[in-house]
Structure 1
Amino acid sequence: MTALLRYHSALFFRSQRWLAPLLLYAAVVAVGVRPGDPVAGSLGIAAAALVPVSAWAVRICLTQEPAAARAVTAAAGGRTRAHLAALLTGAGWPVLAGAAAVGAVTATGDRAGIGGPAALLAGLLATTACGLTGGAVGALASRPFVAAPGWSVAVLLLGSLLALVTTGSPAKHAVTALVAADGGVLSPWAACAGAVLLAAVTAAVSGRAAARLE
Structure 2
Amino acid sequence: MIALVRYMFTVLLLSQRYLAPLLLFLGLVAVLTSSDSGPLTATYASVAGAMLLCSVWLTMALIGLEDQPHRSIVVVSTGSHLRVLLAAVGTAAVWCLLLTAVGLVLPLMFAARTPGPADLALGILAQLTCGFTGMAIGVVCSRLVFRRQGYALLLALGLLLAVLLGKGVSPVNIMLTHLQNTSDSTDALVPTAVLLAVAAGLLTVSTAVTQAITLRKA
Q: What one-letter code is carried by the residue in structure 1 that aligns with 2:44?
A: L
1:145 maps to: 145
Measure how far apart 1:88 and its partner are.
Answer: 2.2
Q: Is the 8 A contact 2:37 2:111 kept in 1?
A: yes
Corresponding residue for residue 56 of structure 1 = 57
Structure 1 runs (4+) deviating above 3 angstroms are 106-112
Distance 1:145 1:72 in 2: 19
Amino acid aligned to 1:89: T
Question: Cα gap change, 1:190/1:107 in structure 2, threshold over 3 Å: closer, same or farther?
Answer: farther
**Residues 92-150 of structure 1: per-residue CA shift (max 9 Å, x gap):** 303320232123325655769xx611111111000000000000011111133222011
Equivalent in the alignment of 1:129: 129
Letter in 1 for 2:64: T
Corresponding residue number in structure 2 for 1:209 = 213
Task: Give the total of aligned pairs.
Answer: 211
Match in the other structure for 1:92: 94
Equivalent residue for 1:83, pick from 74, 82, 85: 85
Q: Deviations over 1:34-69 (max 9, x none)?
A: 266222221111001111210111111111012211
Secondary structure of the corresponding residue to residue 142 of structure 1 = coil
The one-letter code matched in structure 1 to 2:175 is A
Q: 1:201, CA displacement in angstroms?
A: 1.6
CA contact (8 A) 1:55 1:138 kept: yes
State which of 200, 203, 214 in structure 2 corresponds to 1:199. 203
Question: What TM-score does the superposition give when structure 1 sets the normalisation length?
Answer: 0.90
What SS does the corresponding residue of 1:17 show, helix, strand or coil? coil
CA drift at 1:174: 2.4
- Find the aligned partners of 1:92 and 1:51 in 2 and give their Cα distance: 15
2:159 counterpart residue number: 159
SS in 2 for 1:10: helix
Is the Cα–Cα contact under 8 Å of residues 47 and 126 in structure 1 kept in the other structure?
yes
SS of the residue aligned with 1:146? coil
- The letter of the residue matching 2:102 is A
Residue identity in the other structure for 1:88: G
Q: Which runs of 5+ in 1 are unaligned?
A: none
Q: How far, CA to CA, are the matches of 1:119 and 1:102 in structure 2?
A: 9
Superimposed CA distance per residue, residues 131-175 of structure 1 (whole angstroms, 9 cap, x where no aligned partner): 000000111111332220111112122212222121221222222
**Letter aligned with residue 53 of structure 2:** P
Cα RMSD for the two superposed structures: 2.0
